[in-house]
């Protein structure tokens, strides 16, 4: 299948790109193209113009400091995954990214593009949500920062206006005494997960102070559930607590019941792993 | 003396080109020709509808569109339904579609209109401008709906039954009634498809200067395409050439011909006077080529205390989709090949082939055998479980023994001939397999794994495969004056390695260097009589024909060389393209012999000059003797009395995750007997590919239709073809070589084998791991999880039957 006709622009400054978007109601941003191009080819999307941001300067960096990791709009999944500094500041990035698609797709697909694409089956929107990160966006009207909690509007829908470009995402650093873990079950290696679960466990000495879980593919938008109480209660069931807020659904690959079962299987595993991770960090 | 190449692991000559991306596929052709036009097809969005009106008025307004066709624009044979390629007396209600739908559509994807434009983008834009008024009809989706027949696919086909066929040897029902033990099983297999890397594609060019049509098609039968293009377009056969360039996989789907586009592209090329190309895209391939495999089976079996089958009665329902262009080949193969290496004393099989409002069903690698093998092997496992016997023991009890060949089953096979096995040694194959997979040591492994909280299971499955079906294949061998050998055979090649394997045969038979042999396949200009590449027949049919043709060329070479060297033919050897007189140093190059074979001898080259020292021929006779021809050539055809039967046995050890129900392959073992091996590396490659495809069919792939007949997973995102990460990292292979007595080389086909036992062997291993019956394939972790819940209360649910 071939895309319907569209105009194509490859601006070399952000201002030019923003002006083009503002001037064309049907325009869309093209980043790595790994989600958008298939949609165009199947004529599921037919934008009047593509604004290709790949020639924009200064958007390709992955920068790290004590506060966290900042990922530019043109940083590819593969680059973020390969960053040793990023993995040190926030280990969950690499843990999750190794499950995003296949190497060839990670070489082109951008992490910021994945956030804006807002697929509840994608790993990185959930990671941003769990860590409480944010995305900086620009338009002809200026810049703003969208916290993760306000970024995901619905299935495949973010709260960016049509003329906004996401220029950078910020993932907070792992706090001292905290640990993270991620596991997913997919039909084939590199496929979108049937279920994916990440855990962020914060500790103070031997005390578990706060536990949150992030979920992939068991709801319409990335969901984070605070299960601190269920973890601290010896009779508590964190998975059941989480399931109360999830909406696993049937699809052609798995039943809702199987997805719910996988949540029950994965939650204890990631909790144990993240708790271990927190303890290791403390020992080191 | 050169070493024999037949049987050697000669590296594939094709791979240099293929692995470097230098293959030339249909879509690569005429790429730079500015006159080339591109086609796109409007396909039905509905599974079942009447076409009230088609409005194409907006289409030609679009810049770059040259023409649009609907059924109303077709004339003569083009306006008739497409041919029913393989009629059968039992197929009383055969139906085929039109090149473009007339009045009614019967599956999502059926071609309705054909647009030709300057490029594919514009052609697709134009397609989206066509407006069709449909009167929606209730679709029939799936075997249950087809059998219920509360709705009909074709108004004039009652019960949706296209065919009903029954065969019986002995009296199965009486034998079952009298048997000490009986079991009843219900076994289902779902739809899947070939999904070759390259979809369908056709390019056609009409040459007004010579009034000739050239068609390039990604087909498994170029002669078949040529015949139907000529007939449908009303051209003399002599005016049509069909060439098959490199083909990116076929697996059966490309033996179907003519596809609507295969006729419409040449029609457009002739009408518009410009070359036209159609390249199928992936979604089109899913919804408008062909699928296979969906069948429901009911088995009744009677057996004695040893597990010896006394009577077997199988009834099954075959979903053939909306039309039957390929006749009953698939269910006939299931019904006959189901027997595998066994000899049930009494066997009855009856099937109904049913219409549904889905994509047509035609052979996919294995062609009905995977289902048959699933049925028979599940039955063997059920008998073993019922009697508490080892599964290999029950199989051994039922094997045809080596001294019973040729073995007659008393049934009629797919080629209309008696089902008679030519050779095999099933007990020896089983012994090798048990050794290879560690069958007798498995309980130790199970215990060891269980101690670690891991769950494993082992399964095996045996099959016999009729290969090398006739009617014939031919070959032409030509030794040029340079000594180079040009060989043509008419069947096509889809990457199997024919160039290598056939050149090995020629090198040995003729006595030439492998490097000097060039093989051409699938070009009707070179070999107009041919059948095609399917049914694991290329090596058997063309391999044998090439051998025979090379023998003829050799005979002639020896005759001429004997005269030139003044020696007896019996004293001559041909080695590396040089004829020599044994025990002397007298020699003559084959190229020189080729010069001598042609009385017209211009001294163009060294070979011609070298020939001047020899004299051949009787000066008192015409330069070309009455019973001779100029040139050093050999041409011959091979036509076997019946199919030759290869066999094999697979075993797999799987691990099923007690928590996630994920299924992992720990070990996969294959014992394979396809007679003499021309090239063991190529055969093993075929097995590897077949096993990978079988893993897909058993554990990942399916066609998910909803009730309205929409295919929900028509892309590689949701049709889960396994990645390299999902197939076993190693496959242990052992060969047995039981030669076929039916052909000069003693070979049997190997192309389909690897995929045949997959559903059976995985079902057996998963059942062994889980302890409850697996009666439907494919199986996903989600389904295995559901089965676990269903069987949670069973205590020792090991018996498969009831
Ligand atoms: C076979 C395959 C498997 C995959 N598997 C996975 C997987 O397992 N997990 C996973 O998470 N993803 C997966 N993906 C998707 C992949 O991660 C994509 O690359 C990613 O989702 C989108 O990034 P992109 O740069 O390619 O965006 P594009 O495809 O270029 O754009 C996607 C959307 O985001 C918008 N957009 C992109 N960047 C910006 C920006 N800076 N500002 C504003 N709008 C923007 C575009 O307009 C478009 O609407 C898979 C893709 C393929 C093809």
In this prediction the pTM is: 0.96
CB A116 near ligand 1, within 6 Å? yes
Query: Per-residue pLDDT averaged across A34-60, rounded?
Result: 96
A120 plus A210 within the same structural domain:
no
CB A196 near ligand 1, within 6 Å? no
Contact A257 B785 (CB under 8 A): yes
CB A254 near ligand 1, within 6 Å? no
Q: Is the pLDDT of residue B2 over 60?
A: no
Q: What share of chain B is helix, strand, coil (3-state, %, to 5)?
A: 30, 25, 45
Residue with tokens 């604004």: A51
A29 plus A157 within the same structural domain:
yes
User: Ligand 1, closest atom to CA A164?
Assistant: 43
Closest Cα in chain A, distance from residue B725 (Å): 6
pLDDT at site A180: 98
B645-666 residue pLDDT tens? 999 999 999 999 999 999 999 9
User: Ligand 1, closest atom to CA B717?
Assistant: 1
Q: Ligand 1 mean position to A173 CA, how many Å?
A: 24
Contact B712 A252 (CB under 8 A): yes
A120 plus A185 within the same structural domain:
no
Query: Per-residue pLDDT averaged across B201-210, rounded?
Result: 96
A32 plus A148 within the same structural domain:
yes
Residues above pLDDT 70, as percent of chain B: 99
pLDDT at site B3: 63
B258 within 8 A of B301, measured Cβ to Cβ? no
Q: Tell me: domain B473-519+527-638, CATH 3.30.365.10, correct?
A: yes
> How distant, in Å, are the alpha carbons of A96, A186, B271, B344 from that of A196?
9, 8, 56, 50
Substitution site in A58, A116, A162 for ligand 1 pocket (most atoms within 8 Å of beta carbon) = A116
Diameter of chain A by CA atoms? 61
pLDDT at site A283: 52
Query: Per-residue pLDDT averaged across B19-43, rounded?
Result: 96
**β-pairing, A27-30 with A49-52?**
parallel
| CA–CA dist B94, B452 (Å, integer) | 57
Contact A185 B125 (CB under 8 A): no
A36 within 8 A of A51, measured Cβ to Cβ? no
User: Atom 10, ligand 1: which residue's CA is nearest?
Assistant: A122
**Domain span holding position A191:** 178-279
Classified as helix, coil or strand, B385 is helix
The reply to whether B125 touches chain A by the CB within 8 Å rule is yes
Q: Is the pLDDT of residue B484 over 50?
A: yes
User: Ligand 1, closest atom to CA A111?
Assistant: 23
| CA–CA dist B354, B342 (Å, integer) | 28
Interface test with A, best of B782, B784, B788 (most A CBs within 10 A): B782
Substitution site in A113, A121, A163 for ligand 1 pocket (most atoms within 8 Å of beta carbon) = A113
Whether residue A91 lies inside any domain: the answer is: yes
CB A277 near ligand 1, within 6 Å? no
B209 alpha-carbon distance from chain centroid: 38
pLDDT band at B795 (very low <50, low <70, confident <90, very high): low
| CA closest to B281 among chain A residues | A1
CB A194 near ligand 1, within 6 Å? no
Whether residue A198 lies inside any domain: the answer is: yes
Query: Per-residue pLDDT averaged across B452-461, rounded?
Result: 98
pLDDT band at B613 (very low <50, low <70, confident <90, very high): confident
The reply to whether B110 touches chain A by the CB within 8 Å rule is no
CB A112 near ligand 1, within 6 Å? yes
Check for a shared fold between B15-137+194-288 and B473-519+527-638.
no
CB A217 near ligand 1, within 6 Å? no
Q: Is the pLDDT of residue B328 over 70?
A: yes
| CA–CA dist B276, B201 (Å, integer) | 11
Least confident residue range of A31-45, B115-129, B566-580, B617-631: B617-631
Domain boundaries, chain B: 15-137+194-288, 295-469+641-800, 473-519+527-638
CB A125 near ligand 1, within 6 Å? no
CB A31 near ligand 1, within 6 Å? yes
CB A101 near ligand 1, within 6 Å? yes
Contact A252 B725 (CB under 8 A): no
Classified as helix, coil or strand, B359 is coil
Handedness of CA B169, B173, B175, B176 (dihedral sign): positive
Contacts of B718 in chain A (CB under 8 A): 252-253
B347-383 residue pLDDT tens? 999 999 999 999 999 999 999 999 999 999 999 999 9
Tell me which residue in B662, B718, B789 faces A252 most closely, judged by beta carbons: B718
CB A106 near ligand 1, within 6 Å? no
A109 plus A122 within the same structural domain:
yes
Give the residue from A174, A203, A221 where a domain finishes.
Answer: A174
Query: Residue B466 is inside which H or E element, if any?
Result: strand B456-467
- Kindly give, in sequence order, each residue whose CB lies less than 8 Å from that of residue B257, ignoring residues fewer than 6 positions away: B85, B219, B221, B224, B225, B228
| CA–CA dist B342, B426 (Å, integer) | 9
Classified as helix, coil or strand, B752 is coil
| CA–CA dist B530, B540 (Å, integer) | 14
A93 plus A119 within the same structural domain:
yes
pLDDT at site A282: 56
A113 plus A236 within the same structural domain:
no
Contacts of A187 in chain B (CB under 8 A): 700, 720, 780-781
A164 plus A190 within the same structural domain:
no
Least confident residue range of B271-280, B313-322, B407-416, B758-767: B407-416
A196 plus A169 within the same structural domain:
no
| CA–CA dist A99, A101 (Å, integer) | 6
Helix axes B260-272, B222-233, angle to 10 degrees: 60
Closest Cα in chain A, distance from residue B372 (Å): 26
| Bridge partners, B664 (sequence order) | B655
Contact B124 A188 (CB under 8 A): no
The reply to whether B144 touches chain A by the CB within 8 Å rule is no
Contact A258 B782 (CB under 8 A): yes
A45 plus A62 within the same structural domain:
yes
| CA–CA dist B700, B689 (Å, integer) | 15
Give the residue from A174, A192, A214 where a domain finishes.
Answer: A174
B492-538 residue pLDDT tens? 999 999 999 999 999 999 999 999 999 999 999 999 999 999 989 99
| CA–CA dist B619, B616 (Å, integer) | 9
Other beta carbons within 10 angstroms of residue A67's beta carbon come to: 11
Contact A254 B780 (CB under 8 A): yes
Instruction: Report the number of distinct structural domains present in chain A.
Output: 2
Closest Cα in chain B, distance from residue A218 (Å): 15
| CA closest to A40 among chain B residues | B121
pLDDT band at B269 (very low <50, low <70, confident <90, very high): very high
Give the residue from A174, A196, A221 where a domain finishes.
Answer: A174
pLDDT at site B415: 83
Mean pLDDT of the residues in chain B:
95
Measured in degrees and rounded to the nearest 5, phi and psi for residue B608 equal -65, -40
A185 plus A202 within the same structural domain:
yes
CB A242 near ligand 1, within 6 Å? no
The reply to whether B118 touches chain A by the CB within 8 Å rule is no
User: Atom 37, ligand 1: which residue's CA is nearest?
Assistant: A113
pLDDT band at B609 (very low <50, low <70, confident <90, very high): confident
DSSP string, B168-219: EES-HHHHHHHSSEEEEEEEEE--B----SS--EEEEEEETTTTEEEEEE--
User: Ligand 1, closest atom to CA A122?
Assistant: 11
Q: Tell me: domain B15-137+194-288, CATH 3.90.1170.50, correct?
A: yes
Closest Cα in chain A, distance from residue B731 (Å): 20
Contact B660 A262 (CB under 8 A): yes
Q: Is the pLDDT of residue B802 over 50?
A: no
Least confident residue range of A165-174, B597-606, B657-666: B597-606
The reply to whether B723 touches chain A by the CB within 8 Å rule is yes
Whether residue A284 lies inside any domain: the answer is: no
Contact B782 A5 (CB under 8 A): no
Q: Ligand 1 mean position to A35 CA, how many Å?
A: 4
| CA–CA dist B88, B94 (Å, integer) | 9
The reply to whether B720 touches chain A by the CB within 8 Å rule is yes
Closest Cα in chain A, distance from residue B437 (Å): 26
Contact B782 A2 (CB under 8 A): no
| CA proximity to B183, closest of B478, B394, B16, B371 | B394
A87 plus A133 within the same structural domain:
yes
Q: Is the pLDDT of residue B252 over 50?
A: yes
A39-50 residue pLDDT tens? 999 999 999 999
Of the candidate CATH numbers 3.30.70.20, 3.20.20.70, 3.30.420.40, 3.30.365.10, the domain formed by B295-469+641-800 belongs to 3.30.365.10
Other beta carbons within 10 angstroms of residue A200's beta carbon come to: 26
Q: Ligand 1 mean position to A165 CA, how many Å?
A: 14
- Whichever domain contains A229, its CATH number is 3.30.390.50
Contact A2 B120 (CB under 8 A): yes
């Amino acid at each position: 299948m071939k895309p319907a006709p569209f105009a194509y622009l490859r601006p070399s400054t952000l201002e030019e790109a923003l002006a083009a978007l503002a001037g064309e109601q049907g325009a869309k941003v093209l980043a790595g193209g790994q989600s958008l191009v298939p949609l165009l080819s199947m004529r599921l999307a037919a934008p009047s113009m593509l604004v290709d941001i790949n020639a924009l300067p200064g958007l390709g960096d992955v920068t790290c400091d004590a506060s966290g990791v900042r990922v530019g709009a043109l940083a590819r999944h593969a680059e973020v995954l390969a960053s040793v500094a990023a993995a040190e500041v926030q280990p969950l990035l690499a843990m999750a990214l190794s499950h995003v698609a296949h190497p060839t797709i990670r070489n082109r697909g951008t992490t910021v593009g994945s956030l804006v694409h807002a697929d509840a089956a994608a790993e990185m929107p959930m990671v941003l949500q769990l860590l409480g990160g944010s995305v900086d966006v620009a338009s002809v009207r200026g810049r703003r920062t969208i916290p993760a909690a306000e970024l995901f509007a619905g299935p495949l829908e973010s709260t960016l206006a049509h003329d906004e470009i996401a220029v950078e995402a910020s993932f907070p650093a792992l706090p001292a005494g905290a640990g993270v873990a991620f596991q997913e079950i997919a039909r084939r290696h590199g496929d979108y997960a049937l279920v994916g679960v990440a855990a962020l466990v914060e500790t103070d000495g031997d005390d578990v102070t706060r536990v949150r879980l992030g979920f992939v593919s068991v709801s319409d938008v990335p969901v984070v559930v605070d299960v601190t109480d269920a973890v601290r209660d010896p009779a508590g069931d964190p998975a059941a607590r989480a399931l109360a807020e999830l909406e696993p659904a049937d699809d052609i690959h798995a039943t809702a019941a199987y997805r719910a079962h996988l949540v029950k299987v994965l939650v204890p595993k990631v909790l144990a792993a993240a708790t271990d991770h927190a303890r290791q960090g403390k020992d080191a | 003396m050169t070493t024999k190449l037949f049987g050697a692991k000669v590296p594939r000559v094709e791979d240099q080109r293929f692995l470097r991306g230098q293959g030339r596929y249909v879509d690569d052709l005429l790429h730079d020709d500015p006159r080339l036009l591109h086609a796109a097809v409007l396909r039905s969005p509905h599974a079942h509808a009447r076409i009230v009106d088609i409005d194409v008025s907006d289409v030609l307004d679009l810049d770059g569109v040259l023409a649009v066709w609907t059924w109303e624009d077709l004339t003569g044979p083009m306006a008739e339904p497409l041919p029913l390629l393989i009629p059968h007396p039992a197929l009383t209600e055969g139906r085929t579609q039109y090149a473009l739908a007339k009045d009614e559509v019967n599956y999502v994807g059926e071609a309705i209109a054909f647009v030709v434009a300057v490029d594919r983008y514009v052609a697709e834009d134009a397609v989206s401008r066509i407006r069709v008024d449909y009167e929606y009809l209730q679709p029939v989706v799936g075997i249950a709906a087809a059998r219920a027949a509360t709705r009909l696919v074709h108004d004039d086909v009652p019960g949706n039954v296209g065919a009903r066929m029954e065969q019986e040897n002995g009296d199965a029902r009486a034998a079952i009634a009298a048997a000490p033990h009986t079991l009843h099983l219900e076994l289902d297999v779902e739809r899947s498809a070939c999904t070759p890397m390259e979809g369908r594609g056709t390019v056609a060019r009409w040459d007004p200067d010579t009034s000739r049509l050239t068609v390039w098609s990604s087909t498994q039968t170029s002669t078949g395409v040529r015949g139907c293009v000529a007939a449908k377009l009303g051209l003399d056969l002599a005016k049509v050439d069909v060439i098959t360039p490199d083909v990116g996989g076929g697996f059966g789907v490309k033996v179907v011909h003519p596809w609507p586009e295969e006729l419409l592209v040449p029609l457009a090329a002739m009408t518009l006077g410009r070359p036209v190309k159609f390249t199928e895209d992936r979604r089109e391939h899913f919804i408008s080529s062909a699928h296979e495999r969906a069948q429901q089976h009911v088995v009744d079996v009677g057996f004695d205390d040893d597990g010896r089958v006394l009577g077997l009665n199988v009834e099954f329902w075959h979903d053939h989709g909306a039309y039957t262009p390929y006749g009953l080949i698939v269910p006939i193969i299931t019904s006959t090949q189901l027997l595998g290496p066994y000899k049930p004393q009494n066997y009855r099989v009856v099937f109904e082939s049913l219409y549904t409002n889905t994509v047509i069903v035609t052979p996919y690698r294995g062609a009905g055998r995977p289902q048959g093998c699933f049925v028979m092997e599940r039955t063997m496992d059920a008998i073993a479980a019922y009697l508490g016997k080892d599964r290999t023991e029950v199989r051994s009890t039922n094997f045809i023994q080596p001294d019973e060949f040729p073995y007659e089953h008393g049934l009629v096979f797919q080629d209309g001939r008696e089902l008679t096995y030519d050779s095999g040694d099933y007990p020896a194959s089983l012994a090798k397999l048990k050794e290879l997979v560690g069958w007798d040591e498995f309980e130790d492994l199970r215990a060891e794994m269980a101690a670690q909280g891991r769950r494993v299971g082992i399964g095996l499955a045996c099959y016999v495969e009729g290969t090398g079906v006739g009617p014939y294949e031919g070959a032409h061998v030509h030794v040029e004056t340079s000594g180079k050998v040009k060989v043509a055979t008419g069947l096509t090649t889809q990457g199997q390695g024919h160039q290598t394997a056939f050149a090995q045969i020629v090198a040995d038979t003729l006595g030439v260097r492998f490097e000097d042999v060039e093989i051409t396949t699938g070009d009707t200009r070179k070999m107009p009589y041919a059948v095609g590449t399917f049914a694991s027949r290329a090596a058997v049919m063309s391999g044998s024909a090439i051998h025979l043709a090379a023998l003829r060329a050799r005979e002639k070479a020896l005759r001429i060389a004997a005269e030139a060297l003044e020696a007896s033919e019996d004293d001559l050897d041909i080695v590396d393209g040089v004829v020599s007189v044994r025990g002397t140093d007298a020699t003559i190059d084959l190229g020189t012999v080729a010069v001598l074979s042609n009385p017209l001898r211009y001294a163009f080259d060294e070979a011609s000059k070298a020939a001047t020292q020899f004299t051949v021929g009787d000066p008192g006779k015409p330069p070309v003797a009455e019973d001779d021809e100029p040139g050093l050539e050999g041409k011959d055809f091979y036509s076997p009395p019946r199919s030759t039967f290869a066999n094999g046995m697979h075993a797999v050890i799987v691990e099923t995750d007690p928590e996630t129900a994920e299924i992992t392959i720990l070990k996969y073992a294959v014992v394979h007997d396809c007679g003499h091996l021309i090239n063991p590396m190529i055969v093993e490659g075929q097995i590897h590919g077949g096993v990978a495809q079988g893993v897909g069919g058993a554990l990942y792939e399916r066609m998910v239709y909803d009730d309205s007949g929409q295919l929900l997973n028509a892309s590689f995102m949701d049709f889960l073809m396994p990645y390299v990460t999902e197939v076993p990292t190693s496959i242990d292979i052992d060969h047995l070589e039981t030669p076929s007595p039916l052909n000069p080389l003693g070979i049997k086909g190997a192309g389909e084998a690897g995929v045949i036992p997959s559903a059976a062997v995985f079902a057996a291993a998963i059942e062994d791991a889980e302890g409850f019956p697996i009666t439907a394939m494919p199986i996903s972790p989600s389904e295995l999880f559901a089965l676990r819940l269903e069987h949670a209360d069973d205590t020792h649910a090991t018996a498969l039957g009831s």
